[in-house]
């Protein structure tokens, strides 16, 4: 796991040149990249959501495109369209901005449900179908979407099927006074993002992503992951719990987090550290619970406290 840890450390260190004071969030974003998963960054304006997406793309040398979601955006504005060519007398596919390795879906909840649905096939199957022709998306392919959780006027809530396709939901939050002063100093003359270089090759990243799957997960921890997810489905204040895709997401991100810390095995603490980011956005609270100001993060914390943590044992097959 040394190679994977070194690679993740290079990316994290590079991104933290522009994202100051948010080590945990940057590490989780890199975990998602290692898992080939999509990230929903939910926070108020001005905290660095767009900068984080751009910094990740530049750090791994990936092609980058930004889609500004608006109410008048059409599905073909994302996926591309077939146009009749007068020269060849045939329809030619003109790819849309989704045909990039890192795609920033900015303010995703401002687009209509029809336009949001254009991302479903892209995010799950990593392909685009236009006029009955399927076009594969490049590797790695990762959607980093942003949305403002405060402003609801002129927005369309993401449907459950869309939310379930995001591996992680992150919130950057405001900085401490010391870190905010550091940002003022760093941007006195030029934005650090302008000089941010590449530290990892995209092809190298793709090859290392396969190493994540080699991280050992004890059967007891697999049972722990499933128990957590199933508990969200029977929690009294929950209308709809996390799906099996949530179990898979928690399983894979736990492997990646362990690998970034130089371990070839997953611990219960890895699972607990990722449970909120992986599961909270997949849960729907009942109307009566909303009235009592119960949110999904609270539910995940209660589930973590109620499900017994598995003990340790010698790995099977090892001395």
Show the tokens assigned to 157: 């809530």
- Taking domain 1-211, whether its CATH number is 3.40.50.300 is answered by yes
Alpha-carbon Rg for the chain, nearest whole angstrom, is: 20
Q: CA–CA distance from 283 to each of 31, 108, 117, 180 (Å)?
A: 22, 19, 20, 33
Phi/psi of residue 98, each to 5°? -70, -15
Tokens of 139: 């590797």
| Cis omega (within 30 of 0) for bond into 56 | no
Q: Measured in whole angstroms, how far is the alpha carbon of residue 243 from the centre of its chain?
A: 17
Domain with CATH 1.10.8.80 in the chain: 215-308
Say how many C-beta atoms besides its own lie within 10 A of residue 87's C-beta.
6
Q: Given this model, what pLDDT does residue 318 score?
A: 47
Residue in this structure with the two tokens 């080699």, named with its chain if needed: 214
The boundaries of every CATH 3.40.50.300 domain in the chain are 1-211
Cβ neighbours, 10 Å, residue 19: 23
User: CB of 31 within 8 A of CB of 161?
Assistant: no
Maximum CA extent, the chain: 71
- The residue length of the chain stands at 319
For residues 116 and 120, what is the distance between their CA atoms, to the nearest angstrom? 8
Point out which residues pair with 105 in neighbouring strands. Answer: 67, 145
Angle between helices 244-260 and 2-15 (to 10 degrees): 90
Any idea what the Cα angle at residue 257 is, between residues 253 and 259, rounded to 5°?
115
Superfamily of domain 215-308: Magnesium chelatase subunit I, C-Terminal domain (1.10.8.80)
C-alpha–C-alpha distance, residues 211 and 316, integer Å: 20
- pLDDT tens-digit map of 40-78: 998 888 888 889 999 999 999 889 999 999 999 999 999
Q: Write the DSSP string, 61-99.
A: T--EEEEE--TT--THHHHEEEEEETTTTEEEEEE-TTS
Residue numbers in the chain where pLDDT is lower than 70: 1, 151-152, 312-319
- 8 Å CB contact between 252 and 168: no
Contact 211, 259 (CB under 8 A): yes
| Helix or strand run (H / E) with residue 222 | helix 219-234
């Amino acid at each position: 796991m040394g190679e994977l840890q070194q690679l993740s450390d290079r990316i994290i260190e590079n991104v933290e040149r522009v994202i100051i004071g948010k080590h945990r969030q940057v590490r989780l974003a890199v975990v998602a990249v290692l898992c080939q998963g999509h990230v929903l960054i939910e926070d108020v304006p001005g905290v660095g959501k767009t900068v984080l997406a751009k910094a990740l793309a530049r750090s791994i040398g990936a092609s980058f495109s930004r889609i500004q979601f608006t109410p008048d955006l059409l599905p073909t504005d994302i996926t591309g369209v077939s146009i009749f060519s007068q020269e060849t007398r045939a329809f030619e596919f003109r790819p849309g901005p989704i045909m990039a390795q890192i795609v920033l879906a900015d303010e995703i909840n401002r687009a209509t449900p029809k336009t949001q649905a254009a991302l479903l096939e892209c995010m799950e199957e990593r392909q685009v179908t236009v006029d009955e022709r399927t076009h594969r998306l490049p590797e790695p392919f990762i959607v980093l979407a942003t949305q403002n959780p405060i402003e609801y006027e002129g927005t369309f809530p993401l449907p459950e099927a869309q939310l379930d396709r995001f591996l992680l939901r992150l919130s950057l939050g405001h900085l401490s006074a010391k870190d905010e002063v550091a940002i003022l100093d760093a941007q006195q003359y030029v934005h650090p993002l302008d000089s941010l270089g590449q530290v990892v090759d995209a092809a190298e990243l793709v090859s290392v992503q396969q190493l994540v799957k080699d991280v050992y997960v004890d059967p007891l921890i697999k049972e722990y992951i499933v128990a957590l997810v199933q508990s969200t489905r029977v929690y009294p204040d929950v209308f709809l719990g996390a799906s099996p895709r949530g179990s898979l997401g928690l399983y894979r991100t736990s492997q990646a987090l362990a690998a970034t810390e130089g371990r070839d095995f997953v611990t219960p603490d890895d699972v607990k550290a990722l449970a909120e980011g992986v599961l909270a956005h997949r849960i729907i609270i009942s109307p009566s619970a909303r009235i009592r100001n119960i949110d999904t993060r609270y539910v995940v914390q209660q589930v973590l406290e109620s499900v017994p943590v598995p003990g340790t044992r010698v790995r099977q097959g090892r001395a």
